[in-house]
Chain A
Amino acid sequence: MAALVEFRAVTYQIGGREILHGIDLCVQESETVALLGRSGSGKTTLLKMVNRLVEPTSGEVRFEGKPVTDWDPIRLRRRMGYVIQEGGLFPHATVAENVGLVPKLEGWPEERIRARTRELLDAMGMPAPVYGSRHPRQLSGGEKQRVGIARALAADPPLLLLDEPFAALDPVTRFEMQQRFARLRRAFGKTALFVTHDIREALMLGTRIALLKEGRLEIVARADEFVQARSPEATAFLATLGEGTLDGSHATG
C-alpha cells in the first residue's frame, strides 16, 4: 500500500508561536486517520496543509508521492474533497448545484453531472426530486452536513479531508451521521483524514488515531491499540469515555 498523504518533519509557526512541531505522519490508501486533539492542538492547521490552505513553515507535505508545493493548487484541491462544520454550502445555490459544483468546474457534461448528483443524494438518503431544488437555508443541520459530504465526493476524489464535520449536530443526529459516514466510506473506498476532538468519533470512524498535544504527535495507533494506550493525553481522552466502554467495543471503524 502506498502512502496517499505524507507529512515529513512539518513545522508551523505564526507570530513567533509554534503551532506544530516536527510532525511525521503517513496516511495509507483507503484508511481513515482521525486527527484527535483538544482545541488549539494544531489538528485543523495540519489538515489544511494537505490542500494548501496553510503552508508549513518548514518540512514537507506530499500527496500521491509528490510535494504539494509542486502541484498546481487548483488541480491539487480538485483531487480532494473538503468538509467543514455546517458543510460550508453555498447559500445562493440549490442542493443539486452545491453537489454538482466540482464536476461543473471540471467541465463534465450536464447529463453526467445530473446523474452523479442524483446518485450521491440517493446515497445520502436525500432523494434529488425532493431535495435537489432546495436551498441550504431550508435544510436541517444534519441534512446540510450530508449535502456537504455529497459535494466532497462529487468528482470522485481519492481523498477526503474532514474538519469536525459533525461537531455542530445534536448527539442523536451526530451518531446517525457517523454511522452513515462509516458505511459510505467503505462503500466508496475513500481515504480520509478526519479532524475531531471527540474520542468516541475517533474510535468509531478511524482506522488509526493520531493524537496531537500542543502541536506534537503524542501517539499514532490503530483504534483497538489506542484504547490500551497509557500516555498522559491518551489517558485524559480515554477517561472521557466513562465506565464500560474501554473494552474497545466502539472500535467499529
Chain B
Amino acid sequence: MRLAEIVRLSAEHLWLVAIAVFAAVVIAAPSAVILTRRPRLRRWTLGVVNVVQTVPSLAVFGFLLPLPFLGGVGKPTAIVALILYALLPILRNMVVGILGVDAGVRESAVAMGMTDGQILWGVELPLAFPTILAGIRIATVTTIGTATIAAAIGGGGLGTFVFRGIAMADTTTILAGAVPAALMAIAADEALGWIERRFSF
C-alpha cells in the first residue's frame, strides 16, 4: 500500500461516484418534471423508488450479479447499483422543489400568459434549484459511502482497501480506504452546500 495506490483508488472512487450521480440526475430530471404533472403516477413511482432505497446496498449488488447485460462482476454492475441509490434523493427533491413553488407565484405566472414551458424554465426550476441541489448533495455524499461496498463485486475504488484490510485483519489498510472516502464526503458536502446557499432566495 503506497501513496500512489491511495491516489489511484481515490480517483477511481470519485469517477464511480461522478458517473453514478450524473446518470441519476439525467434520469431523474425529466422523470421529475413528468411526475409533478401527474399526481397518481407520482405516488406510485416515488413508492417504488422508496422501496428500492430500503434494500441493503450489499444485497442490491448481489441481486444485480446474475442479471444479463447489467450484471456480472465489475464496474458496470457497481455503477447501476449506485445509480439506483442516488436516484431517490435526487428525484424526490426535484419533485418536492417544483411542487413547493408558492401557489401565488405560480398563479401569477399562469395569469400573465406564460406557457407551461416558460413557467417550468423561468419560474419552477429556478425556484426549486436550491432544493434540487440539496438532493444532489445528499445523493453524492451517500454514494461516496455506498461506493466503498462496490469493491465487493469488483467495482474498484477505495472499498478495495477496506475489503483487503478486513481480509488481512489490518486496521491501517482499512483506514487507507475509509479516511480518504470520509474526507471526500466532507469536501463534497461543503462544496455543494456552498453552491446551494449562493442560489437561495
B127 touches A85 (CB 8 A): no
Residue pair B112, A53 in contact (C-beta under 8 Å): no
Q: Are B111 and A91 in contact (CB under 8 A)?
A: no
Knowing A91-B201, A92-B126, A137-B201 are in contact, say whether A102-B112 is a contact too (CB < 8 A).
Answer: yes
Segment at the B interface, from A74-82, A209-217, A227-235? A74-82
CA of A88 to CA of B118 in the docked complex: distance in angstroms? 16
Interface pair B112/A78, CB less than 8 Å apart = yes
How far apart sit A137 and B107, CA to CA, in the bound complex (Å)? 19
User: Whole-angstrom distance from the CB of B191 to the nearest CB of chain A?
Assistant: 22
Q: Is the CB of B111 within 8 A of A90?
A: no
User: Does chain A have a CB within 8 A of B68?
Assistant: no
Chain A residues near B104 (CB-CB < 8 A): 84-86, 88
- Interface size on A (CB < 8 Å)? 25
Give the nearest-CB partner of B106 in chain A: A88
Residue of A nearest to B127 (CB): A92
Interchain CB contact under 8 A, B201 and A92: yes
Contact call A88/B201, Cβ cutoff below 8 A: no
User: In the complex, which residues of chain A have a beta carbon less than 8 angstroms from the beta carbon of B126?
Assistant: 92
Considering only CB atoms, which chain B residue lies closest to A148 in the complex? Answer: B108
Q: Considering the chains assembled together, what is the distance between the CA atoms of A102 and B201 in angstroms?
A: 22
**Contact yes or no, A77 B113, CB < 8 A:** yes
| Interchain nearest-CB distance for A1 vs B (Å) | 26
Asked if B111 and A101 make an inter-chain contact with CB atoms under 8 angstroms apart, the answer reads no
A88–B107 alpha-carbon span in the complex (Å): 8
Residues in B neighbouring A137, C-beta threshold 8 A = 201
State how many angstroms separate the Cβ of B29 from the closest Cβ of chain A.
19
Docked pose: A74 CA to B109 CA in angstroms: 11
Which residues on B sit within 8 Å (CB–CB) of A105?
112-114, 118
Residues of B within 8 A of A91 (CB): 102, 105, 127, 201
**Is there a chain A Cβ closer than 8 Å to B115's Cβ?**
yes
The chain A residue with its CB closest to the CB of B122 is A90
| In the assembled complex, A135 has its CB within 8 A of some CB on chain B | yes
Question: Contact residues of A with B, CB < 8 Å?
Answer: 51, 53, 73-78, 82, 84-92, 101-102, 105, 135, 137, 151, 161
